[in-house]
Every structure is written in structure tokens, then in C-alpha cells.
Amino acid sequence: MQAVYNIAEICARHGITDVVLSPGSRSAPLTLAFARHPAFAGRLRVVPDERAAAFIGLGIAQATRRPVVLVCTSGSAGLNYAPAVAEAFFQQVPLLVLTADRPPEWIDQLDGQTIRQQNLYGRHAKGAFDFPVDTTHADAKWHAERLVNEAINLAGTYPAGPVQVNVPLREPFYPKAGEEAHYEQDVKIIRDTDYPFPAGISLPGALQDAKATGRVLIVAGQHRADADLEVALRTLSAEHGFPVIADVIANVSGEQDLLHDEILNGSAAENPAYDFALHRHDVFLAGLSADEKAALQPDLLITFGQSLISKALKLFLRGAAPQQHWHVQASGPASDTFRRTTKIIRLEPATFFQALATAELPPADVPQQVGYAIQISANSTESGTPTGATHWLSSVPPGGWPAGLGDAWHKADAAATQLLADFFARPMPEFNEFSAFRLALNALPIYTALHLANSMAVRYANILGLPHGRHIEVFANRGTSGIDGCTSTAVGAALAQPGRPVVLLTGDVAFFYDRNAFWHNYPTPNLRVVLFNNHGGGIFRIIDGPRQQPELDEFFETRQRLTAENTARDFNLRYFPVSAFAELEAALPVFFAAETGAAVLEVFTDSKTNAAFFEQYRAAVKQAFS
């Protein structure tokens, strides 16, 4: 088993510190290799459920921005890693997946816990390696060490992602009594120095194209917080009038321009910078006519990052037909999401936008404004639908919009911001999910790592936006957009960053689907889970399609009667149940207090009430923007 023990040594030499494993017999040599290595003391975590374990590893890797090792036994155990592996692939998160296996001669021989594990994740992994069965020969030892190095380097180099190493193991698995682990110090180490982002780049062709149009639109997809990138984007917005459109998962909030380490250790001072990016596109784009959208149409679209949440934005950009679409991505396959790509710029986004921001561009021919005082009346009728809303396009001058694109986007964004403020300023009707979500979002502690579960949670957050001045960093599993590991990913983040508040906003289906996220023995006093329980898949009452079907109640919404009280008791989490605005407002300060410890705040609402209130919101938007 010396070659297997050397796997742990090679990982340690590459700076890997975190391992998540699930117990098993076939994987015992791998488990012992990491458990007995001093480099992993205190950072090796045991999670029995492989699906939860893999997502916890994903959360740790997201938080630390370093590869995490996963270890499991043979058979279906590795298949349970698949959802997290796929998510890591599309989010470009580095995972080293070590799957223990039967030796090859026993595959397809009806032996226990035996499946076909080679290349188990197919095209959802960056690579797959087969560890040698026999490593006694010097060439085999060299081969084993070389492929472990290759796997680690492949996982971590841009674009990062999951890599599988399948490790066939023969019995005996366990050392004899008193036998100590030995880690060879002359193991082969191959380092891949990843410098894909040149500094001081000159972009004469790109700058010439940018000068040719005053209608430049920048759109940010999902992206990690990046201080340098945010400074560059702020400059382009403030000095040249380029509008920057960002979903909540883009982490472009006007508050990320501070060192990542400062966020982690809490030493960053309050940042007075304004939020230059525009976030209300989900509000106003869905309500505009084709002629009104033409005022927002760019000639040059520049995008970076990964997926967008907003369907309205995606549809707008697909129909906008810009003359040019540049996508900024350092390497790897590039998607043509809007069917208009004309140029792929092989640079890291911060490098490209820094070069663009410091270039001598002509000043925008529109006023340098960040916000506009646009009045929208939201007087309520008896049905709760706003009336008398002033159309935001009523202020369009006779000659149409100015040549600069930023003016139109900023006015629309400001109008949508005012609409939301007026809409939620009305006397609240019955207790509802959307309003409760807004209250919870606005109560988030400073420096929160905010995890948004898929389904309605991430959509509500994208509509409402983040509270200002909190330096919040947003995470969401939007690589595959599944509900299966949202809680486990947040747990992983809480384990990786014990000094930082980690908050998960989630729905009941996602929460109960992933209860094994808490099935481990490691404290997470910094974790808070806000659970919106409408006793079913409430999103299906809100989105068009299923909500119009007579089978909605039984086959789409799937009613359930569970509460989180037993889960909280089983896993020693403080439990706060609320079902009214006054209860929620009273609970939030106590719930988020540092001394409270790990806790679940369960917000009980009625699905039909939620759908009716969201319909009022839609009516308000339609009234204002149509």
C-alpha cells in the first residue's frame, strides 16, 4: 500500500489541506493514508452520505479557492458524487475525486459493491485517471506518482474543475497491529505553473472597436468576488458611461473592491463606494415592448463569467442582435449563450477590463449620472394592484434617447428600484414568502457568505438585490441549478470559514432533500439557515406553465407536511419557527446574533397566498413598464 500512502504525500506537497471522506472498507487504505498524515490533521472530515460529502467538499473549495480531496469506497458510492461533480465542472471548482475500486479482473463478475468505475463521470469531469493495480515495479511506481501529479494539476489549472482518480485495491486493506504509516520523501512532484493572464496587455484592436460605438453594454455572469475586476468596472461605468448589468450571483455590487482575505478575517473597513452596477433588469425587462427594449439595445455587448439567472435578460440579449458580442474568458470552451458571439477574448476578465478602463477612450456623450430621481406612484386598489404608475418612458425626449446607452439603462434601473420600494412600502397583506424573504435579506450580517438555494430563493434575491454596505459575497449552485446539494454546499463553506457568517436562504423541498448535510460531527456555529416552508414546490404556482395545469396540486407542487423542528433537534441546531411579520421581525436579530450558534429559522407561509402576492407584484411591474 506504499503507493497509496504516497497519494496523500503528493497532495500535501501540492498544498492541499482539506479532505472529505465517507467510510468504507475498500477505501480503507486511502482513508488511513490521509488520516495518518500530519498535513491533514484537523482538516479531514467524515461525512457518511456521499452525495452530501461531495457537496460539502464543493462548498469548502468554493470558500478556500483551493482543490479539495474526496474519498469514497467502491460501487454506488462514487455515483452519489455525480451531482456535485457535475456542479463543480460547470462552476469550475477544483475537486480531486479518489474512488476506491475492485481490481479490474473482478469487474462484471457479480462481486459485491462492484460497478464500472473507469471514467465514472464522463464528460462532467475535466479528466479521469486509472491508478495502477500493481506498483511494485519502479516504472509502475513512477507511473502512479506521475498521474496523481497530473490529476492535481489538471484540477487546479484554469479552468478549474473535478478530476477522478480511480484506485483499484486488493486485499489486505488494513495494516497489521502496530504498523506505522510511512510517507516517502522522495516522491515525484510535478508543478504546473498556471500563468494564463498576461499583465500590461495592449488591446489596440479591441479599443478601436470600442471607440467606434457609444452603445457598449457589459453583462456579468456568475463570478467569484474579485476586487481588481470591480475597480475596473466601476471606472468604465463612472468615466465612460458603460452600463454594467449584473445578476446577484455575479458578485459585482460596488462593495467587492477590498481584499478577499480582509473579508475572511473581518478586518475590512466599511466601504463607502456606491453600487455602480445595475441589478433590476429582472424587474423591468419582462414588461417592456419591443420598441421600448430598442432604447436599451447595445451595438457592442461585452460579457464575462458563467450563467445568468435572469431569463428576461437572456431573452432580451438574444433578441437585441448587437453588431458585436465579445466574451472575455481566459481559456476553455466558450459558450454562445446569446447566439451573437463575434469574438472570444482570451484574458482573465480583471486583466481585460483593467486595460479597457485605463485606455484613452472618448468620454461618453451623456451626463455622468449613477441614479435618477424617477417618481413612480404605487397607490393601491382594493385588490392590491398599484394604479396611477408613471411610465418610466414618459420622460423620453422628442428626439429619443441620447446616443449613450448608459442613460437608458440607468433610468430603467432607477425606475425599477423605486417601484420595488413603493410596492413593499404599502401596508402588508397576509404573511407571504416574498415579503418575508426581503426582511431576511435586509437583516444579513456584515461580511456574510450568502448561499442561495435553487428554485425561488435565488430568483427572489435576484429581483430584490442585496442590502448595501454589508460586503456580502454570493454563492449558488447555478452550474447545474439543482436543489440536491444546496444545504451541503453551505455547510462546507461554514466548515472552511469558521470566522465568517454563512447564511443559506432555501425552500423546503431543497432543504428536506438534503438533510444529510448536517449528518457529521463537526460544529458550524457560524451557519444560519433561513427555511421558507410553504409545504411544497411553491415555484410551480408562480411560473407560467405548471400553474395553469389542473394537475398542479398533485403532480407539480407535491404537497408535504414536514417541518424542520425534528431535524434541528437531531443535529443540535437552535430552532426559530415564525408565521407572522411581527414574529419574523422579532426573531431575526436573535437568530443572526453571533452568540446564537448554528440555527434554523423556519418561515411558514401558504403557497396560494404566496402566488397571489407575487401576482400583485407582476401586475405592478406591468402597470409601470407597459
Q: What are phi and psi of 2, to 5 degrees?
A: -60, -40
CATH of the domain at 51: 3.40.50.970
Residue 427 within a domain: no
Instruction: Report the number of distinct structural domains present in the chain.
Output: 3
Q: Which residue has the cell 426573531?
A: 587
Q: For residue 332, what is the DSSP state?
A: S
555 is written with which cell numbers? 403532480
Collapsed DSSP state (helix, strand, coil) of residue 377: coil
Examine the domain organization and report whether 164 and 307 are in the same domain.
no
pLDDT of residue 388: 34
Minimum mean pLDDT range among 73-77, 377-381, 481-485: 377-381
Structural domain includes residue 514: yes
pLDDT tens-digit map of 460-469: 999 999 998 8
Which range, 127-141, 246-260, 513-527, has the best average confidence (pLDDT)?
A: 513-527
Closest CA to 529 of 484, 478, 494, 560: 494
pLDDT band at 403 (very low <50, low <70, confident <90, very high): very low
Residue 539: predicted pLDDT: 64
Sign of CA dihedral 615, 621, 624, 626: negative
Grid coordinates representing 511 are 432543504
Residue 426 lies in a domain: no
Quick one: pLDDT at residue 396? 34
Q: Is the pLDDT of residue 87 over 60?
A: yes
Same domain, 217 and 356: yes
Domain co-membership, 83 together with 132:
yes
CA distance 428 to 283: 20
Does residue 53 fall inside a structural domain? yes
Give CA–CA dist 453/468, Å, rounded: 21
494 within domain boundaries: yes
> How confident is the model at residue 256, as a pLDDT?
59
Q: Give mean pLDDT, residues 95-122.
A: 91
Kindly report, residue by residue over 362-389, the tens digit of the pLDDT.
444 433 332 222 222 233 333 333 333 3
pLDDT, position 596:
96
Q: Are residues 6 and 149 in the same domain?
A: yes
Question: Can you read off the three cell numbers belonging to residue 16?
Answer: 492541499
pLDDT more than 90, % of the chain: 60
Residue 599 makes CB contacts below 8 A (sequence gap 6+) with 527, 528, 529, 568, 573, 574, 575, 576, 591
Q: What is the CATH number of the domain that holds 233?
A: 3.40.50.1220
| 421 domain residue, yes or no | no
CA-to-CA separations, 587 to 296, 432, 569, 592, in angstroms, rounded: 42, 16, 18, 9
- The verdict on residue 186 lying in a domain is no
CA distance 46 to 50: 10
pLDDT digits (tens, 9 = 90+) for 268-319: 444 444 578 999 999 999 878 778 888 899 988 999 999 999 999 999 999 8
Pair 400, 334 in one domain: yes
Q: Of the candidates 355, 380, 415, which is a domain's last residue? A: 415
CA 66, distance to chain mean position in Å, is 16
Instruction: Yes or no: say if 56 and 517 are a contact pair by the CB < 8 Å rule.
Output: yes
Structural domain harbouring 525? 433-605
> pTM value?
0.86
